Structure 1
Amino acid sequence: MLYRCIQAENRKLHASPIWIMFFLLPVISAGYGTFNYMQNLGLLTESWYNLWTQHTLFYSLFFFPAMVAIYAAYLWRLEHLGHNWNLIMSAPVRPLALFFAKFIVVVKLVVLTQFLIFTLYCLCGKIFAALPGWPPPDTLFFLLRGALGGLSVIALQLILSMLIRSFAIPIFIALFGGIVGMLVASRGKGLCWPYALMQYGMNSNKSEDLLAGNYPSFFAACLVWLVLLFLVARQLLSCRDVRS
């Protein structure tokens, strides 16, 4: 049954306008990061690490939360139309299976987005910054860590889009969450805020590894936030209908 739910969610992506945002936002993010890097060569050394910090600064703070919010809002859009929510709640499918199916589909989109970001990073480094060689392996590892840290953002945005019928409001909340995540992370409390986990994983705006010697705490925080948010989703879906 879960597999059928995932198939149904994947069908929503066929010929969907969401693919425009999938390509457009990473390109804009890479453009901002590259431009900022080129304008600050007097302060930054010409290296792949410094280009990475400039790319991930904009991406982690603004573009990633916004993209996840758009993905989540789009997948819940059909349920919020007419009386579709009542049909879903009366269908022979556990409501949490529907939520988990949407989670899996957004995770797939996020993984694809992450590798698109890495591809643009490599292209910008070679074509515009003319950096020698290729990116260090650490940057690919940062990318995978960022995807792991982003799982809690996905779950949270799915809950918000489930509860809020508006398409735009969850996106504004995501942008606010990303900014707060930067402030919280700057005070060393990033593990206490789900949006900061992705920023920690991506090692945004830092040349040294933010998680050096702190991997157990990071993985534990990712797991705790994810379990907590899924419990909240199950409670919401089991105890009351969501108005739409």
Structure 2
Amino acid sequence: MKHANLAGLMACELAKIKGSRIGIFVVLYPLIMVLTGTGMTLISGGFGTDGWHLLWARATGFYGMAMYAVGIAVIASLVWRVEHKGGNWNALMSSGTPAWGVMTGKTLAIGLLSALMQPVFLITAILVGKLAGLPGMLPLEYWWSVLASMIACLPVAAAQSAFSCFIRPFAPPIAMGLVLAGANTFLLLLHLTPAYFLPYGILTRSTMMGSAASRIGTSFPVDPVTPATMCISIGTSIGMTLIIIAIASLILEKRDIHV
């Protein structure tokens, strides 16, 4: 196990949560987010001439600024929950898996489950649009933003994995995710450059990438979907993920954690 490849590490972690209800959360959470956003739009007068653009803007607005990160935080707490039960922590630490392997496996498992929420989000938005009678199809730029957000969830997955590793109770890491996502959105509103490269800022910008967010009046720049912005999103996501995993692995290796 010590020399297992990345796929093996992730598969091992996914096997631990087999039979849990985490899959239900992965499906229901984005579905509820889309229905909530579009429901408010219908109540306030419908989609008007903006059609698909307004639907996507309302669906991704609050979700991209905070609630996607909260969903990732919940998944991270669920994935780590098994390790904080009974003697599982001692078994994990004595399994022969190096600290980097533990953190990488957990991050990949959390990242995969978090990424799967985005296709559900996309499909739900399309179904809602069709049921609402919108002509045509969701513009291609938003499909690309979904792809970007599926990669951009990784640094948040790494951060929340670290929180859930070092904090045994289930709820505090989730609260931290909500606070940090909200704080990062506030920093984005202040146009502070560092916020664009922090895990939660990367996620927000990638999820809201495209012209949709500008239609609901965001006060921070929203990136257009271009090859350059896609590369920046993916590159910063991977780079930040590796940094967080390295730091968390070092702490896990050196720190005596009592659970």
- TM-score, normalised to structure 2, is 0.84
Looking at structure 1, the residues matched to 173 and 157 of structure 2 have their Cα atoms a distance apart, in angstroms, of: 12
4+ runs deviating over 6 angstroms: none
Cα deviation 1:183-229 (Å, max 9, x = unaligned): 12222233143212111001266147822487365455434422321
Give 5+ residue unaligned stretches, structure 1.
Answer: none
Is the deviation greater in 111-120 or in 42-51? 42-51
Deviation at 1:237, TM superposition (A): 1.8
1:206 aligns with 2:221: no
Mark the CA change 1:126 to 1:145 in structure 2 (over 3 Å): closer, same or farther: same
Cα deviation 1:110-151 (Å, max 9, x = unaligned): 2211100000010111103x2100001100111111122221
- TM-score, normalised to structure 1, is 0.89
Conservation of the 8 A alpha-carbon contact between 1:110 and 1:147: yes
Conservation of the 8 A alpha-carbon contact between 1:26 and 1:63: no
1:226 aligns with 2:238: no
Looking at structure 1, the residues matched to 86 and 122 of structure 2 have their Cα atoms a distance apart, in angstroms, of: 40
Match of 1:119 among 114, 123, 130: 123
Cα deviation 1:28-68 (Å, max 9, x = unaligned): 20111111222344796432111111101132234311221
Match of 1:142 among 137, 141, 145: 145
Q: Show the counterpart of 1:236.
A: 251
Q: Amino acid of the residue matched to residue 71 of structure 1?
A: I
Conservation of the 8 A alpha-carbon contact between 2:152 and 2:206: yes
Is the deviation greater in 173-182 or in 56-65? 56-65
Mark the CA change 1:221 to 1:11 in structure 2 (over 3 Å): closer, same or farther: closer
Equivalent position SS for 2:83: coil
Conservation of the 8 A alpha-carbon contact between 1:6 and 1:104: yes
Q: Show the counterpart of 1:161.
A: 164
Identity of aligned residues (%): 26
Looking at structure 1, the residues matched to 135 and 243 of structure 2 have their Cα atoms a distance apart, in angstroms, of: 44
Conservation of the 8 A alpha-carbon contact between 2:10 and 2:108: yes
Looking at structure 1, the residues matched to 143 and 257 of structure 2 have their Cα atoms a distance apart, in angstroms, of: 39
Give 5+ residue unaligned stretches, structure 2.
Answer: 216-220
Conservation of the 8 A alpha-carbon contact between 1:211 and 1:218: no
Q: Show the counterpart of 2:218.
A: none
